[in-house]
Amino acid sequence: MNVSEERLRDWIEKADHDLGTAIIINKYIKEYSDTLAFHCQQAVEKYIKCLLEKHLITFKKSHDLRYLLDILNDAIKIDVSLYEKIIKLNAFGVEIRYPDIKIELTEIQRNEAIIIAKEIREFLKKNIEFDIDKMTSNPLD
C-alpha cells in the first residue's frame, strides 16, 4: 500500500503553516517567543511524520522528535548533526504550552529555531518525489 501524494502534501501544508506562523511571529510579535518555539517544533514534527508515512513506517502518537527521527533512521540515513539540531526544539512540543512553563528566547534563539525548521524542510525536500516549493503553502515565498 502506498501513501497518496495528497496525504503527504497535507502533512507538508500543515507543517508549512506552522513554519510560516513562526516566521510571522518573529517578524511582528517577538515577545511571543514561546509560541514561535512551539510552531517551529510542530513544523519539524510534521515534516518528519510526512516522511514516516511516505516510507510506510508506523509510529505512536508522540511529540518526541528524537523518537520520530530514530524510527525514520530505519528508512533514511540520518546524520548526527540533524539530531543535534532537533534536540534544541524537542522541549518546545509539550511543556511549553502550559502556563507554569515560561520561556523567553533571545533573538539568536528565535532565529535558530526557525533555521532548524527550515533545514528539516530542506531535508524533507531531498527525500520526497515532488516539488514542495511549488505548493501554495510555501512559507519561504
At 102-112, the pLDDT tens digits run: 788 899 999 99
Distance, in Å, from the CA atom of 52 to the CA atom of 41, rounded to the nearest integer, reads 16
Structural domains of the chain in order of their starting residue, each with its CATH number: 5-132 (1.20.120.330)
pTM: 0.91
pLDDT in tens, 115-127: 999 999 999 999 9
Average pLDDT for the chain? 90
Q: Kindly indicate the confidence band of residue 133, based on its pLDDT and cuts at 50, 70 and 90.
A: confident
Number of residues in the chain: 141
Contact 45, 93 (CB under 8 A): yes
Distance, in Å, from the CA atom of 33 to the CA atom of 26, rounded to the nearest integer, reads 8
Contact 113, 36 (CB under 8 A): yes
